[in-house]
């Protein structure tokens, strides 16, 4: 997966911050996912219009002491996993506003 791609939170999920974790329920099968604090940063940044590479640089590398290559690899791995469960969408072009869940950092 390229860092030039775009990620958006699915509109089919339910999500909420519980402390520093994000609880997400898949709309497809009601599976529950819990994202830790760092994964939550990526989830909240998945606005559909910011490229993955920019998210990693701005939201992750700037906040955590981590090698940029490792951060990118972890981020892509996370995105792959979340996309496979249908709770994140990935595309080559930015998403329209209506395709992105409004859930922010609540």
Contact residues toward another protein (CB under 8 A) are 11-19, 21, 23, 25, 27, 29-36, 38-39, 42, 60, 64, 66-67, 70-71, 73-75, 77-78, 81-82, 85, 101-103, 106
Between 90 and 101, name the residue whose CB sits nearer to another protein: 101
For 39-48, give one letter per residue: b (16+ CB within 10 A) or e: bbbbbbbbbb
Cross-strand partners of 9: 88
Q: How many whole angstroms separate alpha carbon 83 and alpha carbon 67?
A: 24
Between 19 and 93, name the residue whose CB sits nearer to another protein: 19
Smallest gap from residue 66 Cβ to another protein (A): 4
Query: Residues 6 or more apart from 91 whose CB is under 8 A from it?
Result: 5, 6, 8
Between 6 and 13, name the residue whose CB sits nearer to another protein: 13
């Amino acid at each position: 997966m390229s860092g030039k791609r775009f990620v958006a939170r699915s509109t089919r999920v339910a999500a909420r911050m519980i402390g520093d974790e994000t609880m997400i329920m898949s709309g497809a099968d009601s599976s529950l996912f819990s994202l830790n604090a760092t994964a939550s940063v990526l989830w909240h940044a998945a606005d559909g219009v910011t490229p993955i590479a920019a998210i990693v640089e701005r939201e992750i590398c700037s906040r955590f002491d981590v090698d940029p290559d490792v951060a990118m690899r972890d981020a892509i791995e996370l995105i792959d996993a979340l996309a496979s469960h249908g709770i994140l969408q990935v595309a080559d072009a930015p998403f329209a506003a209506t395709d992105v869940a409004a859930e922010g950092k609540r």
